[in-house]
Amino acid sequence: MNDSPGWATPGSSPSDGEGSHGTQPPAGGSGGDSKWSAEQPPPGQWSSPTPGQTPPNPQQQPPAAPQPGAGWGTNGNGNPGGWGGQPQAVKPGVIPLRPLGVGEILDGAVTTMRKHWRAVLPITLVVAVVVQLASVLMQKYAFGDVVLDQSSDAPLDEQIDALGSFVGMSAADGFIQLVGAIVATAMLTMIFSRAVLGHGSSIGTAWREARPQLARLFGLTLLLGLGSALLFAVLVLPGALAGQAALAALGGLVALGLILWLWIRFSLASPALMLEKATVRKSLVRSSKLVKGSWWRIFGITVLTGIITTFVAGLIVLPLTLLGGLVFGGGFEGMADGTGTTSWGYLIVAAIGGVIALAITMPIQSGVTVLLYVDQRIRREALDLELARAAGIENYGTTTPPTGG
């Protein structure tokens, strides 16, 4: 890419263990140090900052990267590293260039939405409108038919036709939602990657950078979804077919635990695939290496993000859904028997709430995933050094005063 980071650290990088931030791999690859993996993504071509995007105060000397064993209580020179034991670090974009705390990851996601809303908002709004439109049509023409037929004495063949229509439209609705989520995730990943360096983004730029990897991201998403379904079927079906409810329930619990573990283990595969231009297999391996030793931390941040976005979505969707039901859905009685939930007024008001909720929560979830990926690479591979160079910060990670005058 000509105007965006390559996201691949030159040379080798550690694949296991923490506390390797600030160290550099031995010259000539991984030889001489077993902590450095021989398989790494290809070298990236970092870009120089565009005019007007150079970080402020270029005269200010950036802090040196901490030396091995120094820890994050000092700034590399033996001096205290700032409030809370964190080092003073330059911040060319939405995050400081050092290992991030939970609050900084969430703040970076929200700050990107606020500073780069001209690129973020149109993407999420378009995807949210398409997704909600498909959902409205499905509820009106498929779900509505099933409800009406169940409440009457319709012939069996009509019930089967209505059920088939419902299944078909549900599949189409799910496919539209899947495609919309993939496109939004791909483009938002590119916007967040540039925001880390303080670079602006446009919709066209994000699309051009994301488009070559869309097919692979689609394949990755399908692979994870089908793998989860297959794992669940293998562990649950034997007990269900044998009529052993307890065995089927036990298999379901084991399947859910394994799916959760794999979900977190491969949670960074999407940004690895998009930013490192990796294949599906390599992105899965890459995510597994980055998550190793940090599973519980990434799990906790992911769950916290889910709770926050669910709460925010609920604050938006529930009042509008209730309003639509009371005004257009025949009140509580119509909502209770399901007849009022298929009226156009109710569906449109509920869809408006869904659009607003998706437009807010979608970039937060994508941003947290991207920033978790960046954070793990900073902790394991000293990616902050490459990010600083890409942002145009001279002599970052050294004790040499910056040049220029």
Residue 397 neighbours by CB under 8 Å, 6+ apart: 22, 62, 64, 65, 76, 382, 384, 385, 388
The average pLDDT across 227-256 equals: 92
* Strand pairing category for 36-37 and 13-14: antiparallel
Note whether 174 and 135 are within 8 A (CB).
Answer: no
Residue 164 is which amino acid? G
- 230: Cα separation from own chain's centroid: 24
Percentage of the residues of the chain whose pLDDT score is greater than 70: 67
Q: How buried is 126 (Cβ within 10 angstroms: 0-12 exposed, 13-18 middle, 19+ buried)?
A: middle
Note whether 93 and 53 are within 8 A (CB).
Answer: no
Q: How many CB atoms lie within 10 A of CB 202?
A: 13
Instruction: Flag whether pLDDT at 18 surpasses 70.
Output: no
- The Cα 251–Cα 230 span in angstroms is 13
Instruction: Flag whether pLDDT at 256 surpasses 90.
Output: yes
pTM of the model: 0.76
pLDDT at 322: 87
Higher pLDDT, residue 338 or 219: 219
The average pLDDT across 330-335 equals: 65
**Structure token digits, residue 347:** 């569906």
Position 142 confidence tier, pLDDT thresholds 50, 70, 90: low
Let me know how long the chain is: 405
Q: How many CB atoms lie within 10 A of CB 288?
A: 16
Only one residue has tokens 């590293």, namely 81
Please tell me the least confidently modeled range out of 16-30, 67-81, 126-140, 312-326: 67-81
Q: Between 156-196 and 214-241, two packed helices, what is the crossing angle to 10 degrees?
A: 130
Summarised one tens digit per residue, pLDDT across range 279-307 is 999 999 999 999 999 999 999 999 999 99
The average pLDDT across 173-180 equals: 86
The average pLDDT across 231-237 equals: 93
State the average pLDDT for the chain.
77
Higher pLDDT, residue 375 or 177: 375
Position 182 confidence tier, pLDDT thresholds 50, 70, 90: very high
Q: Which residue from 90, 108, 186, 190 is spatially nearest to 391, judged by alpha carbons? A: 90
Element (H, E) at 145: helix 144-150
Cα 72-73-79 angle, rounded to 5 deg: 120
Helix, strand, or coil (residue 36): strand
Instruction: Flag whether pLDDT at 325 surpasses 60.
Output: yes
Residue 332 is which amino acid? F
Note whether 63 and 89 are within 8 A (CB).
Answer: yes
Please tell me the least confidently modeled range out of 107-111, 163-167, 168-172, 189-193: 163-167
